[in-house]
Structure 1
Amino acid sequence: MTEIPQVRLVIVDDHPTFRIGMAALLSEIEGFEVIGEAASQEEAVRVVVESRPDVVIMDLDLGGGSGVDATRDILRGAPGTGILVVTMSGDDHAVFTAMRAGARGYLLKGAEPADIERSIRAVAAGGVTLGPEVADVAVSYLTGARTATGGPFQELTEREREVLELVARGHDNTAIAQALVLTPKTVRNYVYAVFTKLDVNDRAALVVKAREAGIGLTNRP
């Protein structure tokens, strides 16, 4: 009989009910062992670096913190750890940003137990895996299925371009959220996505790059 590889897991999510339910599910699967949980970005990094699991189940929205930032910090402190994102958002900027940060899998909350098990085993083995809905988003992005908007930075989505315009005009995330009727956390995620796609490391560099392309130079309200 083939021995099933043992997979040690840490669950990172700021909702206790989700962590409890996921831990119960995974503990019933042969070969899986939940060795830790975390509710915040800082706690996630500490728990993972100390316990060195094979796979981390990572939410992207961690209350006041970011699962993307947690992923980057974890991979600096515990390189080789597999990160499987399990979150609510399946839009292209969330998927793109998480995968660029180093995640090797991406599922939406509500995925079937069989898909969760398959994805964990794939990530533990060093593979990359996407849930069905997320795969459609990734294919559309990579094949350029989104209609081009024209002008500079055509790799950005329409919403990312709106955010970039407001950043370049000097607005902070709170003001952008109010202008676009979004939450500040959603705006922050869009800003991270723009950083990644335009290959800049901070807001100042982004403003310079945008203005060099003629974005943000008008006085429109």
Structure 2
Amino acid sequence: MSMRCLLVDDSARFLEAARALLERGGVQVVGVASTGAEAIARVHDLTPDVVLVDLDLDGESGFDLARRIAGGAIAVILISTHSLEDFQELIAASPAHGFLHKSALSAGAIRELLGREE
């Protein structure tokens, strides 16, 4: 069974590249969002298994969004071009399952963070 993923980032270019990369790796990208409001609406409409949330959403906090959507069967993974060390304490205190640097994003990295084998 394919993992269903929602991508949340304010960069259309990144969303396009990440979608292509993840789909090649067997992750079904069911939708994208560029704002917190769009993300919340898409989470309710699409019921993804995992939501990748950028830390910086053009003035919105990815941490706040993660708190709003995490829970139940939906896992949240925070992503950023910033290093883990820059936000390690905030990430650890968040409901997110973990953090991936955007340059390390892959289907395998997501599965590893979530403890899933496919």
Partner of 1:27: 23
Contact kept, 8 Å, 1:57 with 1:85, in 2: the verdict is yes
Verify the 8 A CA contact 2:84 2:99 in the aligned structure 1: no
Q: How many residues align?
A: 116
Within 5 A, what are the aligned runs for 1:80-159?
A: 80-92=73-85, 94-111=87-104, 116-125=106-115
Q: What's the CA shift for 1:124?
A: 4.1
Q: Which residue of 1 aligns with 2:67?
A: 72
Query: Structure 1, residues 11-36: CA drift from partner, whole Å, max 9, x if none?
Result: 00000000000001111123x11101
TM-score by length of 1: 0.48
Letter in 1 for 2:98: G
More RCO (CA 8 Å, sep 6+): 2
How far apart, in 1, do the equivalents of 2:88 and 2:51 lie? 16
Alpha-carbon separation, structure 1, partners of 2:92 and 2:44:
20
Correspondence 1:16 to 2:17: no
Any idea what the Cα deviations from partners look like across 1:146-175, whole Å, max 9, x if unmatched? xxxxxxxxxxxxxxxxxxxxxxxxxxxxxx
CA RMSD for the aligned pairs?
Answer: 1.9
Identical-residue share of aligned pairs (%): 30
Q: CA deviation at 1:108?
A: 1.2
Structure richer in strand, relative to its length: 2
What are the ranges of 5 or more consecutive residues in structure 2 without an aligned counterpart?
Answer: none
- Report if aligned partners of 2:84, 2:101 keep a CA contact under 8 Å in 1: no
Higher Cα Rg, which structure: 1
Residue of structure 2 in register with 1:41 after alignment: 36
| TM-score (normalised: structure 2) | 0.86
Which is helix-richer, 1 or 2?
Answer: 1
